A and B are shown apart, each in its own frame.
Chain A
């Protein structure tokens, strides 16, 4: 009695147990087959878009103290590489435009926007993400302060805020409240937990003296 669920009528519907193989026929031509083989032998693109890279490049990074290597698409950002390749989903993609700060990481100790940093350009460097701030199960003082001060609401900007605050306190261990506001202004919080964020960073700064 139930009707069939919606699909695209333009092509035959995949069916059967092995969906992976079915989709080769489903998309038609050799295109999907090529895709499944995972190598790029695509046709030359008749557009102005930049040509697709044909290969990956080996990248080695020390992430939160662990050396990791992988073949990386040269177009991939540090953010996508850490999230997709290594499952470090703490850093968030808010804008992918370098405008919000949700993806903030520490690169050799300095704050960077990982969404606009290409992974292949940082081969051999050291990365700390929000996950790496936890030491032996103990939260970093900045993390504790954010938790206690309710320095967030939805929490989506928070890994960036926390990481940014750690970087800030390295740059300037004794910031005034005004300096905290100024130096944290690259990290947007659309929930606008700003005053609690300043309180948290100020607490952490005092604790770290």
Chain B
């Protein structure tokens, strides 16, 4: 830990604002003359609109406008996918692809008027025959051609998988299913749009203001600099705000048409149906191994649902491709279209469901072999990337196993399932590996040092709860040699230097690197200014003979000789002194990933088999940790989210229509306070400088990967029952 900030358990800079209600989120922005929109949803899941009668809605009190496909929106172009959700622009025709699809937008002077008028829109449908579920879609599953979302190999072959299977002394084969699950952030998606002539400003719940600006500009046929997106604080998203969805464009269109600002807060129901979800998957895995546990081959076939307006494969199979040293491999991903909303990235795309299947299959293999699950994984450790053969930029997975097993007390696990009891409880231990490819993105930042010694970081990223505002300040403070409380930060506005998205665990590594480069640039400029300035006590020194601490530049050889940034800049009348940082990830000789190991203890009442995770320990290798306080909190949250995925989360569908049966937080169960046992997190905390200049890697996703498998494996250890379908509800265990 650096005394100047990196790694310190600093309290979040926005803590006071968040606990006093002063923090302003997108829905808290009120513009003069702002009107309120409500979206009307399709009641059927397939077919077309035969008629849409909006006369009553238009006549309702307070209504300013009602728009639908009948008003023929003149979209300029379909924005680039990914990051725009779908291939079909909203209101572009009368087709219905899923229940809940937006079919009209009503704008009125107040929320109540808009909601009321939306209920007056009368739609008549020519109902088609929907493909309701993944189960029903499976017969028509297909391998998608590359393009748009399909941006990874849909099929991979390594070695000679079929022969390897045939020659394997031990084989396990199983089919695993994960459920349709929903991000359910507490903040719904919100857009407020306002136009000044041809310039559009959007206050939008966006995980990537910079990326989204380009998409909106494309849709409207505007140059990018005519679109401004603002979103400093996101009230949670978990992927739901990774893409631009229809409502954002519709509100902008309505605002343009009506010539006044318009806000929409989409309903909780619409959150479930129109801002993506993690699609259900069916995954078949077969593993062939030697008797000593060495893997010979893995085959992994995965099918996930997608909508009729987007082809979005889940990269579940990457778990099998990149986690273990296995000489032979075959993977395939297929899509099956169903009449439901479009799926999207959800913590953690691909690896969440993929690691569930793979890590359960390994547990089945361990059981078959009579081997210890940790030992089996150690034996198959991938010293280099198993597909590319490149070295890892940094990998401490063996240490994760060692620390985890020790701290958890793994040796107390009984290999014979169903043997440990306490009172009426069955007790089980389970574990799993976590691995996530680390993504990098170009990002820019400026760092200004002012004559009063204060520092301002400016970068268009956003804070989703990962502590970004605080960690970016820590990074700047560390590089500049000032106390973190001298630094403030401005984010979430495309008028700022383009920062990184807040998804895919990109922020710490990529945006952190940009901030660090900017701070180093400013510090270097200040030192140059000082050594070249006759009025400075540092005049004449070589640049590398100067260091900075606590905002004071000084001669390394004689620390008494020096002056503060404030004095230097004031005398030279430089205000501010700006440093620029531009991080662009280079082609690397390394493969970069984050790693982790999860250990779980479950207890299950024998009469009412409700699984309780009483204890979970995660050891995470995500490079250097920028703030131990926020990191621990984030990791605990990711673990708890995945315990929800393991035990309770499922958006159930009507088997005939495919509609979500109960798109509400009363019925879509997420973990509540009383569900939570003891969650321990340990960080390896070694910088990975081969990955990026900062040596920090993403945390938001790695913490949640493998958790559901660890829970399922613990359930098997407790009961001898192998549950291969998520979630593991009491019904499945009865």
Interface of A with B (CB < 8 Å)?
Answer: 2-11, 13-14, 19-20, 22-23, 26-27, 29, 31-32, 34-36, 38-43, 45-47, 49-50, 52, 54, 73, 75-76, 80, 83-84, 87-100, 102, 129-131, 133-134, 139, 143-144, 146-148, 150-159, 162, 180-182, 184-198
Number of interface residues of B (CB under 8 A): 102
A99-B235 in contact (CB<8A): no
Which B residues are CB-close (under 8 A) to A147?
A: 11-12, 15-16, 18-19
Is B55 located at the chain interface by the 8 A CB criterion? yes
In the bound complex, CA of A152 to CA of B637 (Å): 10
Give B644's nearest chain A residue, CB to CB. A192
Is B163 located at the chain interface by the 8 A CB criterion? no
A8-B73 in contact (CB<8A): yes
Is B705 located at the chain interface by the 8 A CB criterion? no
Is B407 located at the chain interface by the 8 A CB criterion? no
Q: How far is the CB of A11 from chain B (nearest CB, A)?
A: 7
Q: How far is the CB of A129 from chain B (nearest CB, A)?
A: 7
Which A residues are CB-close (under 8 A) to B223?
A: 2
Which A residues are CB-close (under 8 A) to B73?
A: 6-9
In the bound complex, CA of A146 to CA of B18 (Å): 9
Within 8 A of A (CB), among B386-405: none
A35-B61 in contact (CB<8A): yes
B679-A195 in contact (CB<8A): yes
Is B673 located at the chain interface by the 8 A CB criterion? yes
In the bound complex, CA of A49 to CA of B117 (Å): 9
Contact count A vs B, C-beta below 8 Å: 312
In the bound complex, CA of A66 to CA of B72 (Å): 49
Interface pairs (6), CB distance under 8 Å:
A9-B72, A38-B109, A83-B28, A94-B186, A147-B16, A185-B672
Which A residues are CB-close (under 8 A) to B679?
A: 195
A10-B70 in contact (CB<8A): yes
Is B120 located at the chain interface by the 8 A CB criterion? yes
Contact of B464 among A4, A84, A92, A154 (CB under 8 A): A154
Most chain A C-beta atoms within 10 Å of own C-beta, residue among B19, B65, B665: B19
Is B513 located at the chain interface by the 8 A CB criterion? no
Q: How far is the CB of B39 from chain A (nearest CB, A)?
A: 14
Is B586 located at the chain interface by the 8 A CB criterion? no
Most chain B C-beta atoms within 10 Å of own C-beta, residue among A89, A182, A191: A191
B109-A45 in contact (CB<8A): no
Q: How far is the CB of B50 from chain A (nearest CB, A)?
A: 16
B72-A190 in contact (CB<8A): no
B238-A190 in contact (CB<8A): yes
B61-A41 in contact (CB<8A): yes
A134-B20 in contact (CB<8A): yes
Contact of A97 among B70, B258, B268 (CB under 8 A): B268
Is B148 located at the chain interface by the 8 A CB criterion? no
Contact of A156 among B122, B236, B268, B670 (CB under 8 A): B236
In the bound complex, CA of A196 to CA of B25 (Å): 22
Q: How far is the CB of A56 from chain B (nearest CB, A)?
A: 10
A23-B222 in contact (CB<8A): no
Q: Mark contacts of B631-668 with chain A using CB atoms, 8 A cut-off: 1 yes-contact digit, 0 otherwise.
A: 00110111111000000000000000000000011100
Which A residues are CB-close (under 8 A) to B236?
A: 153-154, 156, 190-191
In the bound complex, CA of A102 to CA of B27 (Å): 13
Give B470's nearest chain A residue, CB to CB. A150
Q: How far is the CB of B157 from chain A (nearest CB, A)?
A: 39
Which B residues are CB-close (under 8 A) to A40?
A: 60-62
B259-A19 in contact (CB<8A): yes
B186-A154 in contact (CB<8A): yes
B465-A152 in contact (CB<8A): yes
Which A residues are CB-close (under 8 A) to B63?
A: 31-32, 35, 42
In the bound complex, CA of A93 to CA of B21 (Å): 13
Give A160's nearest chain B residue, CB to CB. B186
Give A12's nearest chain B residue, CB to CB. B257
Most chain A C-beta atoms within 10 Å of own C-beta, residue among B14, B22, B59, B110: B59
Q: Mark contacts of B213-250 with chain A using CB atoms, 8 A cut-off: 1 yes-contact digit, 0 otherwise.
A: 00000011111001000000111101000000000000
Q: Taking A6-B73, A99-B666, A194-B640 as contacts, is the C-beta distance between A153 and B466 under 8 angstroms?
A: yes
